Chain A
Amino acid sequence: MIDDEDLEQRVQRLLSQATHAYRGNRAAAGVLEEAATRLAEPLRVVVAGTPNSGKSTLVNALIGEDVAPAAPTDGPSAFTSYQDGPAPRAWWFAEDQRPHEVAMVRTTPGLRLSTGAAQRTASGATRRAVIEWPSRTLRRTRLIDTGRLEARDVFREADAVLYLTTHLDDADLSFLWAGRGLRGPSVFPVHTIVVLSRADATSGGRADAMLTARQLARRRRREPRVGTLCQDVIAVSPLVGHAARTLREEEFRVLAELAAWPRASLEPHLLSVDRFTAPGALPGVTAEQRDQLVRRLGLGGLRLAVTLTRTGCATRAALAEKLQEYSGLKDLQSAVAELFTTRRAALKARSALTVLDQLLRTEPAPGLGEQLAEIELLSADLHPFRELRLLSALRSGRVDLAPESAADARRLLGGTGTSVGERLGMPAEASTDDIYTAAYAAAERWRQESHRPDTSAAQRRAAAVVLRSCDMIIEWLAGTQVL
């Protein structure tokens, strides 16, 4: 929908009608109240994945600080939510207790929350920590780090999911299946991005490991069974990405010193971690520095960083920038921006409608038939989801359009921003007439595109979706004109 506010209002209206219908049912009222609260909150992006797949490192890499993992003193929490705030603070929601603020200490990996000696009760309730941290990244989204969790719990908590895995095997796919509903608003898998998180170690961690990993990811995202479960598959090395975002001047100095070595004499030392950290192996850099460096970057990241430094990254900032690019972090950030952040309204609506749909069907209340119909209508008509799916298909190459058409389509679909100006690619100072002309031109262009006989069915379907977006732009323009 071009008009995010309209979508939000419709969902809100549905929620308030349902709240009215379910008054007296405490459980249902609680669920609805939570859904309404969530609707107004920033987007919840949950970072989930197999154990040891680098979830906390990725959270750190995205925030650009050493905050994760946040370890409560009385045992692990199911969810750790990171959100924007004026100053670093931490809250602890233990089971059956009122949330209370706790003290936190920065340690080498992440934060330590002094939640006190716990009176551990039945572990049925969810234990969660909420960390407020001033960060630009967190302004429009909340990042939620998870422990060992069932798929159901993860997807219930999330508006969008970053699923980390090292290989994306059958177990991972069945996890993702659990997040896809069979009916209603949850059938669109628009809320998941899969992250292949061991990019730096691909093919033994050679310098070209990242490229290989990227190719692998591209191959995986074209697989139909993967494509039906997520929006994108991106190869990322959270380790390298995190190191790049928090690269210190001192570390850069060490890297520069290493890069200054002749290639042939440095190479044998980069063959294994043991060789690199062996005492007295590389004079000029202490063994301790080397050990820290290899732990920060990993062997593959180290090789990459040395190569990059050698081939022209002369400053810390330049190297950090390059490393971020190579680690796949930039890809991930842009994908999150394009598929999640700018689509906040659609994803929020999806979460709320899924909750509502389930509630209406499991506990039917009198006089809600109309609302079920409205939900059906909303989810059948959720053009934003179709736009997102098409964007995903364009990204992964499941649908290929001519390069200029693809760029045009992506813009019109809201891949670069969902406002009308951004969709039409018009500057902010453009006149109303210009906008009208551009919109009609785009609509005409895609109308023809959707009827071209020499294209495949998939391409025509894609064109029809873009055309629908154009129509909605025109509709919206007409609406504002009247006002």
Chain B
Amino acid sequence: MTSWEAGPTAYAGPTSLVPLSRAVPDPLRAAAPLSWLDVMDATIRTCSAHGRAEIANWLSRRRTRMLEPQLRVLVAGAARQGKSQLINAMINATVCGVPDHGGTTVPAVIRHADIPEAQLIRRDSPSADWTGDAGLRDRIPLAVDGLDRAITQAAATLPATAPLHADIGVPRTLLARGLVLIDTPPLTGLPGSEADAVAEARELTTGAGADLVLFTCETGRDLSDAELAVLADLSRLFPALLVVLTKADYSPDWRQHLARSREQLTHAGVPATVAAVSSSLRLHAVKAGDAGLNTESGFPDLILHLQRMLAAKPDQLAPAMAAVLSRTVLERLAKPLRAELTAEQAGDATEAVARLHATQRRLDDLRRCAQRWQNRLSDEVGDLMSDIEHDLRERTRAVLTEADEFFTTADPAKEWDEFEPWLRDAVEELTRASVTWLAERAQWMARKVADEFPADAGDVLPAQMLAVPDDFGGNAGGLDAPPVASFSPGQKLFIGLKGSYGGVIMFGLATSLAGMSLINPISIGGGALFGSKSIRDEGKALLKRRQAEARTIVQRHVDEIFVRLTKDARDTVRRIQRSLRDHFTAVTEDLQEAVMESLRSAKAAADREVAVREQRARGIQQELAQLSALNQQAQALRGGPSPAALAGSAAS
């Protein structure tokens, strides 16, 4: 069972079993690359600089481990995949539990010792380093015979959650040069859930301080997806992964399975060395001392490989490890930076830019609003003018109508004194109503115009409303009575006589026929009758003339008042218009000034921010470049012999 083939992407380390001729050192190349320690230190410094102290700490631990002469091989895998049996067969001693008796429950570190010894060590915390010194109280000595049971019993006395591992020393030349084998309990997640298994594998390898991971899988089945995930994750932490297919003696098709596993690993992009071994053959071979059988078991090659790794640790494994670790760590550092850079470049609208845009929008709003309120003001003033004229006309007409009616019956000569105060009152009333109404309309108009301003401009109404001037409409003044045509007693007498003349004659002629004299009592009576009628008629005609005169006077008076009031109203409206225009123009200017100011400041802020972003992006790019340079240096550590050369020289 000697099949040591590496997949196309397999680790470029010493998988070969044939010693390579030493490459002639190239002076040019030798000078350029950094030593792996420098790279590690640089990576650790970078971690610290990026504020990832926990990674730096972890790297420091790994760095320390790499300087140790030991090669710690962690044997991991799912349950019942022959992990413990592999170790037992390798060192030919029953130190690890096998599944028929419950399987491995406590990890065991198997190292060289001159006399067999074993102890159970209780660590301070689950994350504590296994290689750290344990105090006397934390060590429980174990009986070397029946180790399996001794471990179980000792572990049972401690709390179930206590972090434990067994430390077992066996006298074996195989281990004498510093090879340390670590048996582990099955990874819990396997074969089902990979997330658990990946986390557990990381924790185990970190805690145990492993230099090399040997992953076991029984022959006769494919690697499960979860196992591949675990291996893929481990390959980012360990350069030299070893996948060992156990129980190869039992499967007729183990060669196909080996090829298939290799294919699966290549497909998953996991660089690993794959081998098949048979623990039971090895145990038989050792028992029988059969070298041929031993070779068939595949173990000599495995052991040789491990010893090679041990020998190559300072020269090849450590640099490769540094390269892999640096790459993994640097990638992890670069990831958030890249994400940030993408976010920066995507240019998400930040607050400053948003504010700048908002301010610009406000300025535009204000400009539109200035136009609007001016239009509104002129419209309103036009309306007000026509309204007020119409209103005055209506009111004056009402007064006139009333006066006319009054004078159809009343005698101005007699009732003027009564009429004149009424007229004065009516005019005053009219003026007052107009003033009030005008003031209300003006106020309303101001509000309308103010409504045209954007809501966030605040209260833009003028502080004090423009009062209508006190002398609005002027003093109506009194109205003199119309000149009365006097009807004196003399005139009355004259008119009476003139009228009675006709009566006397008429009745005297009629009675003269009857033989009476022209002047008789009857004709005198008739004369008196006619005379008095003439006087009455004359009086009526006079009254009519007076009334007409009075009407004319009143009309003229009221017309005058109307004209004056109209004039005053127009003046007032104009004044109001002017003052409102002045006021709102001032308000608009103030607002625009304020918005311009905030626009300037927003623009400045946005500019500043863009500058900061650009600077940050440049900074990130610089950092990424540094990381990438460091990574290149790290990858240069892996230079050396090409993988193909190594894979080609694999033993058959």
Contacts and interface: CB of A to CB of B under 8 A. Distances in A.
Interface of A: 52, 166-167, 169, 171, 201-205, 212, 216, 268, 271-275, 277, 291, 294-295, 298-300
B296 A274 contact: yes
A272 B100 contact: no
Interface of B: 1, 79-80, 85, 98, 100, 191-192, 221, 247-252, 254, 278-281, 284, 293, 296
B251 A271 contact: no
Nearest to B102: A219
Nearest to B278: A272
B80 A167 contact: yes
Contacts of A274: 1, 249, 254, 296
A291 B221 contact: no
Nearest to A172: B192
Contacts of B254: 273-274
A273 B296 contact: no
A299 B100 contact: no
A299 B284 contact: no
A427 B80 CA distance: 50
Contact of A203 (B100, B221, B284): B100
Of all A-B residue pairs in the complex, the 5 with the closest CB atoms, nearest first, are: A272-B249, A204-B280, A171-B192, A273-B252, A299-B250
Which of the listed residues A167, A216, A273, A295 has the most CB atoms from chain B within 10 Å of its own CB? A273
Given A201-B250, A294-B252, 6 more contacts: A166-B80, A201-B247, A271-B284, A272-B249, A272-B281, A300-B250
A209 B186 CA distance: 22
Contacts of A294: 252
A167 B218 CA distance: 13
Contacts of A295: 252
Contacts of B250: 201, 204-205, 272-273, 298-300
Contacts of B79: 167, 169
Contacts, number: 51
A268 B281 CA distance: 10
Nearest to B222: A52
B251 A273 contact: yes
Contacts of A271: 249, 280-281, 284, 293
B284 A202 contact: no
A399 B79 CA distance: 31
Contacts of B80: 166-167
Contacts of B293: 268, 271
A282 B98 CA distance: 33
B252 A277 contact: yes
Nearest to A205: B250
Nearest to B283: A204
A165 to B, nearest CB: 11
A202 B101 CA distance: 12
Contacts of A299: 249-250
18 contacts: A52-B221, A166-B80, A167-B79, A201-B247, A212-B100, A216-B100, A268-B293, A271-B284, A271-B293, A272-B249, A272-B250, A272-B281, A273-B252, A273-B254, A274-B1, A291-B252, A298-B250, A300-B250
A230 B221 CA distance: 27
B582 to A, nearest CB: 78
Contacts of A205: 250
Which of the listed residues B191, B252, B254 has the most CB atoms from chain A within 10 Å of its own CB? B252
A205 B296 CA distance: 18
B192 A273 contact: no
B191 A171 contact: yes
Contacts of A268: 293
Contacts of B249: 204, 271-274, 299
Contacts of B296: 272, 274-275
A94 to B, nearest CB: 28
Which of the listed residues A171, A212, A277 has the most CB atoms from chain B within 10 Å of its own CB? A171
A128 to B, nearest CB: 26
A242 B279 CA distance: 28
A288 to B, nearest CB: 13
A277 B255 CA distance: 14
Given A167-B79, A171-B191, A271-B293, A202 B252 contact: no
A239 B79 CA distance: 22
A169 B226 CA distance: 16
Contacts of B100: 202-203, 212, 216
Contacts of B192: 171
Contacts of A169: 79
Contacts of A216: 100
B173 to A, nearest CB: 26
Contacts of B284: 271
A472 to B, nearest CB: 43
Contact of B247 (A166, A167, A204): A204
B148 to A, nearest CB: 15
Contacts of A291: 252
Nearest to B249: A272
A203 B84 CA distance: 12
